[in-house]
């Protein structure tokens, strides 16, 4: 998880930090491998825009988890643009595809502003293993870097050692962690908000246990957590982040739907984008349920959680 713990990576760690754009590109390199290189190869070998080309394009989009519906939408929009602009060159098709994707993703780019409330309460939710606790660690680091005071609430009272994991993140970021001894996550988070208000803390990050949308009693529990947060501060939670693992396929859509219905999700975090062939699911999300993607996780370092930017994202996909 942390490169500085890896003996094999110790050398690399001493080199100057690569810029954010470089890291994004590196993280998305594999997606490019799946999407862009194939696209380039495809465009290079072709001289005219024909059905076969569209079919291959369809296959590439599907393989990148864009999904049947969104792929259909993208191709249709691409065809329309080709007709409208009377494109005949295969090279022009590439720019047109970029534009279509950027247009589709545009509604998702709305960065999170953590001001206007003190404390600004951010609640995190998601399925098991999505990366909630790790995301909290990275968010804590980010807000500390911005000079804000942060408090963590250990609302995952279920999973073995989840509390210890959050405590470790707290220690690394020199941030206080509120964790109860009992098993009631709502009470722990309630206490954290009370205590944060008393101490003038800027941001409260509330962890919750991972749960699948099919576990109805756990979905009921998280609804309750949200209600109880509202009791600690009627305006809270100010942000409900759903953490999605980019490895997940079309099920991500169902997850967004289920959590949104239960909690009113206001933002998404897409984690583990540093693997292979990911990112397409964002397009499927944009098509179905346009909830802003607040952050994407592109690496294992503390600073590898970054705001989602459509132009950079699309650009990186096609470089």
Partner 1 sequence: MLETLSQRLGAVVKNLRGQGRLTEANVQDALREVRVALLEADVALPVVRDFIARVRERALGQDVLQSLTPGQMLIGIVHKELTALMGEQAAPLSFAAQPPVVYLMAGLQGAGKTTTCGKLVRVIRERGKKKVLMVSCDVYRPAAIEQLKTVAAQAEADFFPSDPTQRPAAIALAALDHARRHHYDVLLVDTAGRLHVDEAMMQEIQELHRALDPVETLFVVDAMQGQDAVNTARAFNEALPLTGVVLTKLDGDARGGAALSVRQITGRPIKLVGVGEKLSGIEVFHPERMASRILGMGDVLSLIEEAQKGVDQAEALKVAKKLKAGKGFDLEDFKAQIQQMKKMGGLSTLMDKLPGAGAVQAGDLAAGEKQMRRVEGIINAMTPEERRHPALLKASRKRRIAAGSGVTVQEVNRLLAQFEQAQKMMKTLAKGGMGKMMGRLKGILPGMP
Binding residues for partner 1, total number by CB under 8 A:
57
Q: Is 84 in the site for partner 1 (CB under 8 A)?
A: no
Q: Is 15 in the site for partner 1 (CB under 8 A)?
A: no
Least gap, CB of 137 to partner 1 (angstroms):
8
Fill in the DSSP letter of residue 101: H
Distance (Å, rounded) from C-alpha 243 to C-alpha 73? 25
Least gap, CB of 116 to partner 1 (angstroms):
31
Please give the radius of gyration of the chain, using alpha carbons only, rounded to the nearest integer: 21
- 69 vs 315, beta carbon nearer partner 1: 69
Q: Tell me which of 17, 85, 159, 230 binds partner 1, using CB under 8 A.
A: 159
Q: Is 74 in the site for partner 1 (CB under 8 A)?
A: no
Q: Tell me which of 167, 187, 228, 290 binds partner 1, using CB under 8 A.
A: 167
Q: Tell me which of 85, 111, 161, 231 binds partner 1, using CB under 8 A.
A: 161
Site string for partner 1, 169-198 (x = CB under 8 A): x--x--------------------------
Contact 206, 233 (CB under 8 A): no
Residue of 79, 87, 26 lying closest to 55 (CA atoms): 79
Residue 141 region, left (φ>0) first, then alpha (ψ -120 to 50), else beta? alpha
Q: Tell me which of 212, 228, 290, 301 binds partner 1, using CB under 8 A.
A: 212
Q: Which range of residues in 73-81, 104-112, 113-121, 268-276 is near partner 1 by CB under 8 A? A: 268-276
Q: Tell me which of 7, 19, 47, 181 binds partner 1, using CB under 8 A.
A: 7
Tokens of 174: 């020199």
Residue of 37, 219, 38, 224 lying closest to 126 (CA atoms): 219
Q: Is 135 in the site for partner 1 (CB under 8 A)?
A: no
Tokens of 67: 């999904």
Contact 187, 180 (CB under 8 A): yes
- 284 vs 291, beta carbon nearer partner 1: 284
Kindly write down the DSSP assignment for every residue of 49-91, as one continuous string.
--HHHHHHHHHHHHHTT--HHHHHHHHHHHHHHHHHTT---HH
Distance (Å, rounded) from C-alpha 316 to C-alpha 277? 13
Q: Tell me which of 53, 63, 176, 191 binds partner 1, using CB under 8 A.
A: 63
Fill in the DSSP letter of residue 2: -
Q: Is 59 in the site for partner 1 (CB under 8 A)?
A: yes
DSSP β-ladder status, 293-297 and 305-307 = antiparallel
Instruction: Kindly report the three-state secondary structure assignment for every residue of 180-197.
Output: CCCCCHHHHHHHHHHHHH
- 146 vs 164, beta carbon nearer partner 1: 164
Q: Is 257 in the site for partner 1 (CB under 8 A)?
A: no
Phi, psi (degrees; rounded to nearest 5) at 275: -90, -145
End-to-end CA distance of the chain: 28
Q: Is 21 in the site for partner 1 (CB under 8 A)?
A: no
- 239 vs 245, beta carbon nearer partner 1: 245
- 105 vs 166, beta carbon nearer partner 1: 166
Using CB under 8 A, list all residues that contact partner 1. 1-2, 5-9, 30, 34, 59, 62-65, 67-68, 127-131, 134, 137, 158-162, 164-165, 167-169, 172, 212-217, 220, 245, 247-252, 254, 272, 274-278, 280-281
């Amino acid at each position: 998880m942390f490169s500085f713990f890896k003996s094999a990576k110790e050398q690399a760690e001493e080199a100057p930090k690569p810029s954010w754009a470089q890291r994004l590109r590196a993280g998305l390199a594999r997606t490019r491998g799946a999407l862009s290189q194939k696209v380039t190869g495809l465009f290079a070998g072709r001289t005219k825009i024909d059905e076969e080309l569209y079919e291959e394009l369809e296959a590439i989009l599907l393989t990148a988890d864009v999904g049947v519906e969104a792929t259909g939408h993208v191709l249709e929009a691409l065809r329309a643009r080709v007709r409208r602009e009377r494109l005949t060159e295969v090279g022009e098709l590439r720019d047109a595809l970029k534009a279509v994707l950027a247009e589709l993703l545009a509604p998702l780019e709305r960065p999170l502003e953590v001001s206007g409330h003190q404390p600004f309460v951010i609640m995190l939710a998601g399925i098991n293993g999505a990366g909630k606790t790790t995301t909290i660690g990275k968010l804590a680091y980010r807000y500390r870097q911005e000079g804000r005071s942060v408090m963590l609430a250990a609302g995952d009272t279920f999973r073995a050692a989840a509390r210890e994991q959050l405590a470790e993140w707290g220690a690394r970021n020199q941030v206080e962690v509120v964790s109860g001894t009992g098993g009631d996550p709502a009470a722990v988070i309630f206490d954290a908000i009370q205590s944060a208000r008393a101490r003038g803390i800027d941001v409260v990050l509330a962890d919750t246990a991972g749960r699948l949308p099919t576990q109805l009693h756990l979905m009921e529990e998280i609804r309750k957590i949200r209600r109880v947060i509202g009791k600690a501060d009627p305006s809270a939670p100010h942000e409900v982040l759903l953490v999605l693992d980019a490895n997940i396929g079309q099920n991500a859509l169902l997850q967004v739907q289920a959590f949104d219905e239960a909690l009113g999700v206001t933002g998404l975090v897409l984690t583990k984008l540093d693997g292979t062939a990911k990112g397409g699911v964002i397009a499927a999300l944009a098509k179905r349920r346009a909830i802003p993607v607040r952050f994407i996780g592109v690496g294992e370092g503390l600073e590898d959680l970054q705001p989602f930017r459509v132009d950079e994202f699309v650009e990186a996909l096609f470089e």
